């Protein structure tokens, strides 16, 4: 097979969720499959995180504006490479492309009502672009891959697709995520001392940042320890607005916001944390859940969407719309050592069920099935 994989953003310095997913899939396929030919289409960037090998060819395709890169430059490059399948990995694909398509549709949040509180130009442009493109490419896709049973059922129901067209392949997590006791200097770039709470919130309303900060304010009022809160990559003005709107000035001096945290530093940051907050309103998978669990850090997560499926039935599952529930679980972890240790063990065992190696094996099997179907 000659397989094309769209990985437009993986060479950028500050990677995010979908970038890491396709990067790890490519790395595992490169190790596991020496028979088929792969053509990885990327935009130029400073972090050359994958290299050519005997049967994997990295092709840089110029163009920084994503819609024109995907709709014009990508199909042209794929045709020139004579690929027989094109896997588009980030929710959208070229509208005009006669190569058999496989689409990874991580979620269909863009088809749900838009939260008008979201003032991020980048996120809003992405929302409109996906809303325009996805309905026009669905019938052209040989398979649509998604990342949880929750999202698979959601896609089938809301898009009216036949079940045989939609495949579920779980994400994994990097095997360097494990408990770290040494190299204090790594997490010290972000916090002065261990035992903090860690939250990966941002300005996207689905991340539930505002309600989580209200819960943290309640925790500070009731806790005798008053652990600091590490928040990555959050806009300072956005935080100020939340504090003012909710009258929670008491949290200000306890919050640390160091900016973007390098992925390879995260195992140390998770390991040094007392607990990890993953209290989103909605997630299609939730890789940070597994990362924290694999590092032996208890996780407080939501009882909505895919999070119970990924975290498992024994995890700490709360109503993300209840600041009191979030607060109560933080206090229980702080005051009940047996409960705390139980959650450490729950996470360590749960995380063993997921791996990028297994993800890549399933992906290769799907490629083979689709390739055979297209040649009948």
Two structure tokens written together for 199: 């939250």
Structural domains of the chain ordered from first start = 2-172+355-374 (3.40.50.2000), 184-351 (3.40.50.2000)
pLDDT score of 186? 75
Two structure tokens written together for 206: 């689905």
pLDDT in tens, the chain (376 residues): 999 999 999 999 888 889 999 999 999 999 999 999 999 999 999 999 999 999 999 999 998 788 999 999 999 999 999 999 999 999 999 999 999 999 999 999 888 766 656 556 566 777 788 889 999 999 999 999 999 999 999 999 999 999 999 999 999 999 899 998 776 667 678 887 889 999 988 888 889 999 999 999 999 999 999 999 999 878 888 899 999 999 999 999 999 998 888 888 999 999 999 999 999 999 999 999 999 999 999 999 999 999 999 999 999 999 999 999 999 999 999 999 999 999 999 999 999 999 999 999 999 999 999 999 988 7
pLDDT score of 364? 97
* Rg from Cα positions in the chain: 21
Give me the sheet containing 2-6, strands edge to edge. 56-60, 37-42, 2-6, 85-88, 101-104, 141-146, 166-168
Q: How far apart are CA 97 and CA 178, in angstroms?
A: 42
SS3 for the chain, per residue?
CEEEEECCCCCCCCCCHHHHHHHHHHHHHHHHCCCCEEEEEECCCCCCCCCCCCCEEEEECCCCCHHHHHHHHHHHHHHHCCCCEEEECCCCCCCCCCCCEEEECCCCHHHCCCCCCCCCHHHHHHHHHHHHHHHHHHHHEEEEEECCHHHHHHHHHHHCCCHHHEEECCCCCCCCCCCCCCCHHHHCCCCCCCCEEEECCCCCHHHCHHHHHHHHHHHHHHCCCCCCEEECCCCHHHHHHHHHHHCCHHHHHHEECCCCCCHHHHHHHHHHEEEEEECCCCCCCCHHHHHHHHCCCCEEEECCCCHHHHHCCCCEEECCCCHHHHHHHHHHHHHCHHHHHHHHHHHHHHHCCCCHHHHHHHHHHHHHHHHHHHCC
Q: How far apart are CA 365 and CA 372, in angstroms?
A: 11
pLDDT score of 114? 66
Which pTM value belongs to this model?
0.90
pLDDT score of 120? 63
């Amino acid at each position: 097979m000659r397989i094309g994989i769209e990985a437009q953003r993986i060479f950028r310095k500050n990677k995010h969720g979908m970038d890491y997913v396709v990067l790890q899939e490519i790395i595992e396929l490169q190790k596991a499959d020496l028979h088929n030919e792969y053509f990885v289409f990327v935009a130029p960037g400073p972090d050359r995180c994958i290299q050519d090998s005997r049967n994997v060819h990295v092709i840089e395709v110029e163009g920084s504006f994503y819609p024109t890169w995907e709709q014009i430059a990508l199909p042209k490059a794929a045709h020139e490479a004579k690929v027989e399948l094109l896997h588009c990995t980030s929710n959208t694909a070229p509208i005009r492309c006669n190569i058999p398509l496989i689409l990874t549709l991580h979620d269909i949040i863009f088809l749900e009502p838009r939260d008008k509180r979201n003032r991020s130009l980048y996120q809003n442009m992405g929302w409109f672009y996906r809303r325009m493109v996805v309905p026009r490419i669905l019938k052209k896709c040989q398979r649509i891959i998604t990342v949880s049973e929750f999202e698979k059922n959601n896609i089938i129901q809301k898009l009216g697709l036949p079940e045989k067209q939609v495949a579920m392949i779980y994400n994994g997590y990097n095997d360097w995520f494990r408990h770290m006791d040494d190299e204090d200097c790594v997490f010290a770039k972000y916090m002065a001392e261990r035992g903090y709470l860690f939250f990966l919130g941002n300005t996207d309303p689905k991340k539930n940042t505002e309600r989580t900060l209200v819960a943290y304010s309640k925790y500070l009022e009731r806790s005798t320890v008053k652990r600091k809160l590490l928040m990555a990559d959050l806009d300072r003005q956005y935080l100020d607005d939340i504090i003012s709107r909710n009258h929670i000035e008491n949290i200000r001096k306890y919050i640390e916001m160091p900016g973007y945290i390098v992925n390879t530093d995260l195992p140390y940051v998770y390991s040094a944390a007392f607990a990890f907050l993953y209290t989103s309103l909605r997630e299609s998978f939730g890789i940070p859940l597994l990362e924290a669990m694999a590092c032996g850090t208890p996780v407080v997560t939501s009882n909505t969407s895919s999070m119970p499926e990924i975290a498992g039935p024994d995890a700490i599952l709360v109503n993300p719309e209840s600041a009191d529930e979030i607060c109560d679980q933080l206090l229980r972890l702080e005051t009940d050592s047996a409960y705390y240790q139980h959650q450490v063990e729950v996470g360590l065992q749960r995380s063993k069920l997921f791996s990028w190696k297994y993800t890549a094996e399933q992906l290769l099997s799907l490629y083979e099935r689709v390739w055979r179907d297209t040649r009948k």
